[in-house]
């Protein structure tokens, strides 16, 4: 959509207030000239308002890279509120513009204040961006002093609320920029600028300050609650498609498997052990040396037959994704093609040196690797053409798009002068991951609908959820503080509207543990990290130098092996719950990994907790983030002569059941839970229905029987979802749902008629109904009532005492 902000729309009636600036009613709102500024308010929906502020006479076009929605035709009213204020209102919002100061403020339809710009808080300071006239762009807001805000992407400082800090937001290995905040007051703001930006907050002011831009451009999104805000984010920037079912299983990776025999062998060993696995990841250098970096061919002689590689993995009922980068070595065909078309960016990226080891030495020869211009649609076409012919056609199931921020070594200001298809690199820096990930998604969708796109990627920008992307937290270090910081990093990331996120289980760099996997201290850290990883959207073990495969830990009967196997099996039992919740992500703009403010916004004690979260809307997860059975050192031993414990908070307004014991607790209190090495605190909210699948070796092995756990104490509802699991037929209605409804006062469970159909839908499913109750007369947890029945697709009501 194009905006010529220096023009007025003359075919609308011009309204004026005596002695004040004029404004013009437009198709979607209004436009006003105030001193040197042109200010426009546009309703995209009744809950979404775009605010644009530009300099008079400045001619430009702004095509949003993130927003794909067009403004809808909605009813709105314009009222001259007083001598210098005009308001524009929809069914949900009142937006006021001060025609003297240019300050914009937002209220709900009842007149309750939500957000207000700060007086004199709009700044467009002229500057040259290379040879283009531009501005330093800044907007200041005034938040309530007791307000909490979340989002901004992934920053690993361990903070939940993003108040009272300064963040320099430029894409980096472990920092992901998504310039969206949402407030516990039920609104969000998307700062639509792609340049490096400083976010600043203190009790007096909250601001976004971008290095370059044509205008101030942001969206105010009113959702009333956190899920509503996320819905508005996705209304603007795109919905999240369904991930393949198998991606929710367990993933094993290492930097790196050095031959196709080794890669296949990992899956074989898991199958031999009877430990579930669904995916293995092939990291870099299957292409050969660094001069052939990311050549999109299997140039390494240790990978002589890629079709055989993928076939053998598929024959083991597993899947493979493969590392692909946004850069190319000088001996590769893609490099030469892109160079001839001037589609390579001129700055130093990884790997800087030609050697296949890290760290390289200063006198090692340069590799000559360059990043491609992902902002150029023709370059994205070329990228996919080589990717499709060289890798996708070999049967690979998905993509590990590494370095999508991208790596920028030895940063110099002149690097940002580099020209891209959309202007200077400075102008569009933070949108690079959106461009390159989007190119792969769009091209694969055009190539086939028989295989769902799945992309694991190291960086993201606003709107990337529409590209089937699951971001991970970068090359983090293996230690307890880093593990703790992952929790709030991931929760703030998903608060910006992108639901799929994960982390290297165990941390990437294990250099604090030279003995690695053989060291009990690292093993304890790894076990706790894996327990946490079982409750993130992708359960993926990965790291360098220190292998992470379960058989490296020891053997069955060893504390470390058994604890890891227990949680891998638990992950698989939870797949029906996870997949049904992922359908809510797609169909209702929900979020799978949920900060507590999403579900307990009235509980002030829950608003700034950075060490626990909800997984789906039923399970409270409290990861263990400190050593209890070793000293946390490289030379320590594991001792289990006493059991450690972990304090956690149970949010108010509900009761909670200990997942492991069935013991019931009142919410609104802190409790202490014993945590032997094979237990991480999990609590299920009263009024929950939790489906658990059978024990399997891979996700699609068998459907049932399905255990339906009822956690009483309140009425409950759950939508059980299934489809063909690895194509896009669900977009045409090829899926089925079953509604489970629990009437707590009548102890009655109603299972609805099945709605919908798809190829391969089983006619019958065995359901095992289990009602979890408080302790019985003997003091044993849990006391349960069990009822089994064969579901044939027809409604059934059961009374369960």
Residue 784 is encoded by which pair of tokens? 């349960």
C-alpha closest to that of 373 among 352, 346, 407: 346
- Interatomic CA distance for residues 555 and 551, integer angstroms: 6
Q: Which residues of 450-485 are buried (b: 16+ CB within 10 A; e: fewer)?
A: ebbbbbbbbbbbbbbbbbbbbbbbbbbebbbebbbb
Q: Which one is catalytic: 140, 201, 227, 475?
A: 475
Told to judge if 475 belongs to the known catalytic residues of this protein, a careful annotator would answer yes
| Sheet with 344-345: strands ordered across | 327-328, 370-372, 344-345
Residue 457 preceded by cis peptide, ω within 30: no
- Interatomic CA distance for residues 517 and 341, integer angstroms: 47
- Interatomic CA distance for residues 248 and 263, integer angstroms: 20
Residue 578 is encoded by which pair of tokens? 């996870």
Q: Which one is catalytic: 352, 405, 565, 581?
A: 405
Residue 599 is encoded by which pair of tokens? 């579900």
Residue 188 is encoded by which pair of tokens? 């969000």
- Interatomic CA distance for residues 782 and 771, integer angstroms: 9
Q: Where are the alpha helices (DSSP H) in 39-194?
A: none
| Burial (Cβ within 10 Å: 0-12, 13-18, ≥19) of residue 545 | middle
Asked whether the CA dihedral 262, 263, 267, 268 is positive or negative, the reply is negative
- Interatomic CA distance for residues 288 and 583, integer angstroms: 40
Q: Which one is catalytic: 217, 402, 581, 655?
A: 402
Contact 34, 56 (CB under 8 A): no
Q: Tokens 């529409």 map to which residue?
A: 466
- Interatomic CA distance for residues 652 and 603, integer angstroms: 6
- Interatomic CA distance for residues 592 and 579, integer angstroms: 10
Told to judge if 405 belongs to the known catalytic residues of this protein, a careful annotator would answer yes
Point out which residues pair with 768 in neighbouring strands. Answer: 707, 788
- 407 three-class SS: coil
- Interatomic CA distance for residues 732 and 200, integer angstroms: 45
- Interatomic CA distance for residues 334 and 293, integer angstroms: 10
- 544 three-class SS: strand
3-class SS letters over 579-618: HHHHHHHHHHCCCCEECHHHHCCCCHHHCCCCCCEEECCC
Phi, psi of 272 (to 5 degrees): -65, -35
Catalytic sites, residue numbers? 402, 405, 475
């Amino acid at each position: 959509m194009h905006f010529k902000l220096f023009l007025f729309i003359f075919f609308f009636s011009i309204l004026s207030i005596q002695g004040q600036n004029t404004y013009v009613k437009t198709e979607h709102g209004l436009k006003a000239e105030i001193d040197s500024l042109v200010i426009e308010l546009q309703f995209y929906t009744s809950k979404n308002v775009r605010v644009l502020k530009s300099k008079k006479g400045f001619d430009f076009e702004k095509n949003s890279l993130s927003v794909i929605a067009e403004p809808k035709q909605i009813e709105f009213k314009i009222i001259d509120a007083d001598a210098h204020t005009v308001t524009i209102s929809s069914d949900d919002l009142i937006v006021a513009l001060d025609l003297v100061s240019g300050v914009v403020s937002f209220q709900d339809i009842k007149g309750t204040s939500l957000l207000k710009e700060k007086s004199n808080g709009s700044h467009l300071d002229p500057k040259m961006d290379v040879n283009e006239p531009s501005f330093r762009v800044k907007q200041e807001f005034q938040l309530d002093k007791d307000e909490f805000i979340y989002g901004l992407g992934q920053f690993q400082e361990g903070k939940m609320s993003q108040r009272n800090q300064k963040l320099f937001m430029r894409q980096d290995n472990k920092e992901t920029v998504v310039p969206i905040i949402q407030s516990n007051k039920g609104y969000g703001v998307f700062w639509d600028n792609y340049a490096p930006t400083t976010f600043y907050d203190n009790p007096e002011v909250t601001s976004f300050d971008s290095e370059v831009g044509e205008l101030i451009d942001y969206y105010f999104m009113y959702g009333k609650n956190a899920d509503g805000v996320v819905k508005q984010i996705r209304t603007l920037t795109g919905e999240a498609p369904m991930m393949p079912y198998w991606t929710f299983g367990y993933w094993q990776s290492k930097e790196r498997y050095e031959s196709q025999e080794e890669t296949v062998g990992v899956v074989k060993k898991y199958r031999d052990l009877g430990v579930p696995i669904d995916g293995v990841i092939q990291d870099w250098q299957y292409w050969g040396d660094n001069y052939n970096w990311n050549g999109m061919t299997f140039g390494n002689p240790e990978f002589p037959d890629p079709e055989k590689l993928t076939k053998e993995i598929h024959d083991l009922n597993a899947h493979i994704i493969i590392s692909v980068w946004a850069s190319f070595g000088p001996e590769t065909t893609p490099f030469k093609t892109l160079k001839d078309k001037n589609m390579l960016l001129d700055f130093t990226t990884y790997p800087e040196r030609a050697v296949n080891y890290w760290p390289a030495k200063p006198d090692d020869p340069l590799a000559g690797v360059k990043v491609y211009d992902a902002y150029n649609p023709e370059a994205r076409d070329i990228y996919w053409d080589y990717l499709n012919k060289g890798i996708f056609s070999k049967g690979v199931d998905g993509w590990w798009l590494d370095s999508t921020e991208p790596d920028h070594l030895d940063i110099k200001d002149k690097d940002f002068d580099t020209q891209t298809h959309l202007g200077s690199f400075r102008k569009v820096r933070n949108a690079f991951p959106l461009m390159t990930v989007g190119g792969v998604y769009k091209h694969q969708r055009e190539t086939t609908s028989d295989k769902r796109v799945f992309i694991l990627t190291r960086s993201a920008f606003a709107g990337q959820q529409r590209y089937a992307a699951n971001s991970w937290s970068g090359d983090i270090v293996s230690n307890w503080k880093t593990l703790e910081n992952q929790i709030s990093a991931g929760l703030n990331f998903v608060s910006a509207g992108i639901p799929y996120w994960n982390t290297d289980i165990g941390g990437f760099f294990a250099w604090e543990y030279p003995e690695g996997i053989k060291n009990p201290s690292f093993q304890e850290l790894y076990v706790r990290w894996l327990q946490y990883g079982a409750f993130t959207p992708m359960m993926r073990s990965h790291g360098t130098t220190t292998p992470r495969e379960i058989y490296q830990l020891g053997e069955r009967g060893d504390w470390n092996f058994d604890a890891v196997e227990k949680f891998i099996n638990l992950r698989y039992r939870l797949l029906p719950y996870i997949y049904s919740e992922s359908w809510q992500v797609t169909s209702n703009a929900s979020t799978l990994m949920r900060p507590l403010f999403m579900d307990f916004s009235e509980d002030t004690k829950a608003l700034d907790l950075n060490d626990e979260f909800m997984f789906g809307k039923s399970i409270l997860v409290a990861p263990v983030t400190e050593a209890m059975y070793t000293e946390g050192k490289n030379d320590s031993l594991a001792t289990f002569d006493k059991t450690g414990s972990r304090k956690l908070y149970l949010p108010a307004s509900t009761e909670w059941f200990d997942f492991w014991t069935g013991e019931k607790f009142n919410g609104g209190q802190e409790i202490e839970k014993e945590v032997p090495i094979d237990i991480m605190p999990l609590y299920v909210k009263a009024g929950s229905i939790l489906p658990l699948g059978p024990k399997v070796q891979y996700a699609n092995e068998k459907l049932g029987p399905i255990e339906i756990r009822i956690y009483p104490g309140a009425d409950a509802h759950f939508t059980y979802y299934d489809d063909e699991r690895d194509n896009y037929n669900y977009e045409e209605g090829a899926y089925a749902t079953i509604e489970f409804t629990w009437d707590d006062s009548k102890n009655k469970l109603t299972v609805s008629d099945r709605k919908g159909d798809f190829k391969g839908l089983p006619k019958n499913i065995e359901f095992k109904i289990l009602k979890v109750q408080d302790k019985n007369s003997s003091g044993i947890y849990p006391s349960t009532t069990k009822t089994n029945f064969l579901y044939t697709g027809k409604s059934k009501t059961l009374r369960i005492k």
